[in-house]
Amino acid sequence: MLTPISISEKAEAEIKNIIQYKNIPLDYFLRVGVKGGGCGGMSYALGFDKPKEEDQKFEINGIPVLIEKRHYMFLMGMQIDFFEGDEARGFTFVNPDLPKRHDQ
């Protein structure tokens, strides 16, 4: 099955650090998903979880990843990235096929 998302090198390093330093159990995967719309549109979610029946399983850059089947189409083409700025740091979802906004 085609992997719907990619993970940047920065995000990969940060995810692996979290797995190591938070002692995430070996039977847990990185769960990638979306949260419902509203005025702001979709928001994206990351966390660690055990697989469920409705999940698609992937391995991306050595990271076991879960995506719920119904979220698959909303995540297609997205890249998980990690940023560190002077005032904030965190994961972000980027669609490399879309032009960047000027305020980013």
Query: pTM of this prediction?
Result: 0.85
CA distance 87 to 81: 17
The CATH number assigned to the domain holding 27 equals 2.60.300.12
Q: Is residue 104 domain-resident?
A: no
With contact defined as beta carbons under 8 Å apart, do 84 and 27 qualify?
no
CA distance 99 to 55: 30
Q: Is residue 55 domain-resident?
A: yes
Per-residue pLDDT tens listing for the chain (104 residues)? 678 899 999 999 999 999 999 999 999 999 999 987 666 677 899 999 999 999 999 999 999 999 999 998 889 999 999 999 888 899 999 987 766 544 44
Q: Is residue 99 domain-resident?
A: no
Q: Looking at the 3D structure of the chain, how many domains does it have?
A: 1
pLDDT for res 100: 57
Its domain, for residue 28, covers 6-35+42-94
Q: Is residue 89 domain-resident?
A: yes
Q: Is residue 100 domain-resident?
A: no
What does 15-36 look like in DSSP terms, one character per residue? Answer: HHHHHHHTT--TT-EEEEEEE-
pLDDT in tens, 55-83: 999 999 999 999 999 998 889 999 999 99
- Which residue type, as a one-letter code, is found at position 94? V
| Cα–Cα nearest to 29, from 52, 6, 10 | 52
